[in-house]
Amino acid sequence: MTEVAFIIGYLSLAVELLFFHVPSVANTQNFFRKNDNFKTGQNKFITNIQNWSFPKKIVLLAIPAAMVQLYFLLPFLYFFPSSHAELFLVFKSSNLTDFLGLLCVLSGRFLTFGSMLYLRKENRQTNNSFTLHTGGIFRYTRNPGLDGMFLFFGGLGLLFPSIWLWFGLIFYIYYMVFRVRIEEAFLQDIFKDEFINYQKQTNRFLFFK
């Protein structure tokens, strides 16, 4: 069951990133180089980050971003027998946790992939052609793509309950909330009251605010 989840999960993730990736204005590179798609007004949150010193940007932006990329590889510890020692496991797997894990993986990938396809169908979000999406799944959560990723990695954590995966998931969620705050500050600059009203009506995430 775990192997099936890995194959479906990472194969679909590879297809998504290669062919249906939606660029994020919260990309770390935008704070190190000029990007015409990343123009903001007087937003204090973004301005403050832009004014950080280069070393501070490395420590608080570049290094965490690199750690998140490494986190994507942590589930592959499953294929190394030494990582299955009880010392490294949060709990013992069971048929129930395996079933819930597979369900979370499949649901997470469906949610993320579906939201990415929806965004790409509406517009590619390039050359300042940004659109505020409030229909479909975006009526219930402002970040369905991330909700899906949280489900995906949470499911892998149930299938392979390594302490490293669960610590990594906590860091991943914390970091992505920070990225979302940057994205939302950007959207406030562009859409103003329209986005503010959307914020009031819709939760930031599906399972938590």
Most confidently predicted of 17-31, 42-56, 82-96, 113-127: 82-96
State the chain's mean pLDDT as an integer.
Answer: 87
Q: What is the pLDDT of residue 12?
A: 92
Q: Are 50 and 31 in contact (CB under 8 A)?
A: yes
Global pTM reads 0.90
Q: Is the dihedral of CA 108, 111, 113, 119 positive or negative?
A: negative
Say how far apart CA 110 and CA 48 lie, in whole Å.
36
Q: Which range among 42-51, 88-97, 193-202 shows the weakest confidence by mean pLDDT?
A: 42-51
Q: Which range among 11-15, 17-21, 113-117, 201-205 shows the weakest confidence by mean pLDDT?
A: 17-21
pLDDT tens for each residue of 22-73? 777 777 877 877 655 555 556 788 888 888 999 999 999 999 999 999 999 9
Please give the C-alpha separations between residue 40 and each of 90, 132, 189, in angstroms, as whole numbers: 43, 16, 6
Say how far apart CA 116 and CA 152 lie, in whole Å.
15
Confidence of residue 173 (pLDDT cuts 50, 70, 90): very high
Say how far apart CA 91 and CA 18 lie, in whole Å.
35
pLDDT tens for each residue of 130-167? 678 888 889 999 999 999 999 999 999 999 999 999 99
